[in-house]
A = this chain, B = another copy of it.
Amino acid sequence: MTDRAPLSKGEMEVARVLWELGRATVRQVHEAFPPERAVDFSTVQTYLRRLDAKGYVRAWLEGRTRVYAPLVKPTTVIRETVDDLVDRLFGGRALPLVRHLIERHDIDEGDLAELRELLDRLEGQSDA
């Protein structure tokens, strides 16, 4: 409901790093960035500022250093982002996407087991 402005691609990358770190300064986020995806320190800074403005993170000063922490949970962002994608690209049907993910991405043994369990649970829940 909170009708946040959606995250852009770049903002997502930064948000993900912040979720991993839990709480971090600009520098920490910048350093945690995958080396092949190098961006400037101030670019990260800008993204964090924008994430703050959009309400995805909060920030405060600790001494003279600004510290950022996530405000919304990954699951929330996933929901909003993915649902939007599913709507636009598949008109709301999720299965084609699931199929793609399973077939193409490396879902390892453990993941397969987990999926299977999930299916079992769901089947139990349905009308039957």
Contact = CB atoms under 8 A, between A and B. Distances in A.
Interface of A: 9, 12-13, 16, 74-75, 77-79, 81-86, 88-92, 94-107, 109, 111-112, 114-116, 118-119, 122-123, 126, 128
A82 B78 CA distance: 12
A78 B97 contact: yes
Nearest to A10: B88
B91 A16 contact: yes
Given A79-B104, A122-B107, A115 B89 contact: no
21 contacts: A9-B88, A12-B89, A13-B88, A74-B89, A74-B96, A78-B97, A78-B100, A79-B100, A82-B97, A82-B101, A83-B105, A94-B106, A95-B111, A98-B115, A99-B115, A102-B119, A102-B122, A103-B122, A107-B122, A109-B126, A112-B122
Nearest to A78: B100
